[in-house]
């Protein structure tokens, strides 16, 4: 995937452009991307217009599902040819017409535009699908408006996914994302309490500005050197011993090795129990033993 954000590149008018924020690249977003992909049969390449998620805020903002670099990686893995992802402040004052002609036509060379029914654009989000349809018609650009994708009778949205994560409903979040939610972060040094308890763990920081799942213990899947391992992960502040900020701490079943400094993928599979403050380290050790035993029995 070629990122044209920082360059002066203007694409030839042979692209099918997907429009949206794409935080999480969930199954609703993927339906928009699929519509753009289907236009390849007409000789078009695919392009995505999106803002850097970290530069867009809402009144009920609880953080991003994924940081922008993970979103970019997912789009690349899905086979998108071109990405244009500026900061919101760069384009926020463009009128709907300016956005359409300067960005979609001149910059991105759109011959087809794909979006969801709730897409808004232009200064102060003044225009929607109705105005986009008129602009596309005048410029002989094909418009594909994709209906919401439903899950359990309601439209899938980033807000629903974040709510599921916050309440520990990992199964629903993963279904709506079309992949397992997780982290791919560098292993950092902690207090090494897990090692003292005979259960060595890896510590990873939760990316700044992202939604924090419900504090508690999770069954996880850990990816190391092309292999998959079961894990037991605690997300939270470790109230028994105290932590300055939330992090994810994972014990990897049937693995022993030094992973400090490595980038490790940990995916959340199931919420097992809430985070608890124990009266003593010995009580914590007993519970950790139970968590590991339960994790070994769970169906992934």
pLDDT in the model for residue 289? 86
pLDDT in the model for residue 238? 67
CB atoms within 10 A of CB 254: 7
HSE, side-chain direction, 13 A CA sphere, residue 136: 19
Cβ-based burial of 124 (10 A; exposed 0-12, middle 13-18, buried ≥19): exposed
Residue 187 backbone phi and psi in degrees, to 5: -75, 125
Residue with tokens 């608890």: 276
pLDDT in the model for residue 242? 55
Residue with tokens 């998108």: 80
d(CA 195, CA 87): 43
Q: What is the DSSP letter of 107?
A: I
Domains of the chain: 2-155 (3.40.50.620), 180-297 (2.40.30.30)
Phi-psi region of 140 (alpha: psi -120 to 50; beta: other; left: phi over 0): left
* Alpha-carbon dihedral angle through residues 254, 258, 260, 262, given to the nearest 10 degrees: -70
pLDDT in the model for residue 281? 75
Handedness of CA 14, 16, 21, 27 (dihedral sign): negative
d(CA 255, CA 160): 35
pLDDT in the model for residue 277? 77
Q: What is the DSSP letter of 95?
A: -
pLDDT in the model for residue 224? 93
Average pLDDT of adjacent 10-residue blocks, the chain of 300 residues: 91 93 95 97 95 75 89 96 95 96 96 96 95 97 97 96 97 97 91 63 92 95 94 82 78 90 96 83 81 79
- CB-based contacts of 181: which residues, under 8 Å, 6+ apart? 65, 165, 170, 173, 174, 213, 267, 268
């Amino acid at each position: 995937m070629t990122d044209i954000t920082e360059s002066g590149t203007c694409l030839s008018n042979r692209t099918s452009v997907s429009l949206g924020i794409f935080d999480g690249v969930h199954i609703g977003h993927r339906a928009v991307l699929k519509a753009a992909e289907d236009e390849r049969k007409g000789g078009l390449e695919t392009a995505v217009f999106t803002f850097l998620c970290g530069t867009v805020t809402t009144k009920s903002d609880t953080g991003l599902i994924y940081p922008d670099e993970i979103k970019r990686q997912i789009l690349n893995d899905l086979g998108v040819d071109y990405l244009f992802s500026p900061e919101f402040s760069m384009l926020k004052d463009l009128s709907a017409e300016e956005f359409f002609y300067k960005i979609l036509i001149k910059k991105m060379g759109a011959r087809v535009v794909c979006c969801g029914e709730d897409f808004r654009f232009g200064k102060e989000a003044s225009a929607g699908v109705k105005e986009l349809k008129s602009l596309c018609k005048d410029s002989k650009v094909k418009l594909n408006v994709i209906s919401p994708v439903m899950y359990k009778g309601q439209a899938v949205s980033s807000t629903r996914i974040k709510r599921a994560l916050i309440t520990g409903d990992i199964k629903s979040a993963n279904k709506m994302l079309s992949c397992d939610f997780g982290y791919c972060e560098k292993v950092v040094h902690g207090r090494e309490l897990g090692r003292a308890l005979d259960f060595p763990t890896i510590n990873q920081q939760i990316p700044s500005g992202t939604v924090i799942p419900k504090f508690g213990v999770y069954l996880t899947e850990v990816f190391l050197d092309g292999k998959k391992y079961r894990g037991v992960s605690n997300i939270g502040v470790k109230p028994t011993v105290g932590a300055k900020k939330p992090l994810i701490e994972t014990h990897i079943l049937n693995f022993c090795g030094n992973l400090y400094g490595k980038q490790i993928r940990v995916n959340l599979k199931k919420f097992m129990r809430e985070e608890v403050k124990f009266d003593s380290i010995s009580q914590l050790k007993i519970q950790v033993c139970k968590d590991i035993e339960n994790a070994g029995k769970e169906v992934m």
